[in-house]
Amino acid sequence: MQKELITEKSSETQKLGEKMAKKMKGGEVVCLSGDLGAGKTTFAQGFLRGLGAEGPFVSPTFLIMKQYKIGRKKPFREIYHIDAYRVNAQNIIDLGWEEIVKNKNNIIIIEWAEKISEIIPQSALEVEFEWLDKNKRKIRFKNFKFLK
């Protein structure tokens, strides 16, 4: 159950994020991995928009974790966008991870999730990003049914 897609501009990557967001039911953990500049934040911005989060969608690099609220129409209430590049699992636990991850009203999207792999649930959905050239990225959905 693996699907690879190639995007040729950042707006396409955002659209994929938006599309994935529409399939969320609540309680999902979405892990984004891949090198610097591979497109994780770009995808996350589309994902946040697709969930109806209120912008601006900033990169959480200097915040570690940014929380967004969403409208009442959705079954879920809060979205957490985490950038684990500069942190370790304990840092995220200290931000209240256990409570956040067990609450099915939450959706969590994590850049550099591999840095905190010890605390990522088995059920997490994985998306890998690969830089092909200036505007091309390969995006691999590992355990998520994705139709283009």
- List contacts with ligand ATP (CB under 6 A): 7-10, 12-13, 34, 36-42, 111, 129, 135-137
135: partner contacted, choices ligand ATP, Mg ion, none (Cβ within 5-8 A by kind):
ligand ATP
**Tokens 């892990």 — which residue?**
31
Per-residue burial over 41-52, b if 16 or more Cβ lie within 10 Å, else e, is bbbbbbbbbbbb
Q: Do 111 and 40 touch, CB atoms closer than 8 A?
A: yes
Residue with smaller CB distance to ligand ATP, 45 or 106 = 45
13: partner contacted, choices Mg ion, ligand ATP, none (Cβ within 5-8 A by kind):
ligand ATP
Q: What is the DSSP letter of 77?
A: -
d(CA 25, CA 8): 29
41 touches Mg ion by CB under 5 A: yes
Residue with smaller CB distance to ligand ATP, 41 or 106 = 41
